[in-house]
């Protein structure tokens, strides 16, 4: 469901994406994390598109891990990192309107609805309706 991920996955795109992580971290442009369970990666979560004190939270989890609270737990940790360690003032996030479970994760974290817009989705090879949210640091739950 990642909007800008290639699907099916393209090895060259993935290799290029991973190769840039260290530089992005050092530059303060993006922070990316793997989520592991019993030594196996079950998802990824990041804050990217960082500019002027704002960043965008994104995540993906394998279907077998859905509904178990892993996304909420990992997202809370990354939200805390973004506000307390990085010092961002606001986070944005969004999901395809047909992925209501992702919206529930954002609402549980304290994100507030912003709007619904049409966005290009590389993984779906077309335009999607995306519901967008925002979370100011001043109202983020601990």
The domain ranges of the chain are: 11-139
CATH architecture of the region 11-139: 3-Layer(aba) Sandwich (3.40)
Query: How many CA atoms lie less than 13 Å away from 122 in the CB half-sphere?
Result: 10
Residue 106: its pLDDT value, please? 96
Q: Note down pLDDT in tens along the chain; length 142 residues.
A: 554 555 455 667 667 777 888 999 999 999 999 899 999 888 889 999 999 999 999 998 888 998 999 999 999 999 999 999 999 999 999 998 998 999 999 999 999 999 999 988 777 778 889 999 999 999 876 6
Residue 7: its pLDDT value, please? 47
């Amino acid at each position: 469901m990642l909007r800008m991920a290639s699907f099916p996955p393209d090895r060259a795109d993935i290799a290029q994406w991973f190769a840039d992580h260290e530089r992005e971290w050092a530059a303060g442009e993006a922070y990316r994390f793997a989520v592991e369970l019993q030594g196996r990666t079950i998802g990824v979560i990041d804050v990217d598109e960082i500019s002027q004190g704002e960043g965008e939270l994104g995540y993906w989890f394998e279907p077998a891990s859905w509904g178990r609270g892993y996304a909420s737990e990992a997202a809370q940790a990354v939200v805390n990192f973004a506000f307390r360690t990085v010092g961002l003032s606001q986070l944005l996030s969004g999901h395809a309107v047909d992925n209501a479970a992702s919206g529930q994760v954002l609402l549980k974290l304290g994100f507030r609805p912003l709007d619904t817009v049409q966005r290009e989705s590389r993984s779906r090879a077309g335009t999607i309706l995306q519901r967008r949210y925002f979370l100011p640091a001043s109202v983020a739950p601990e």
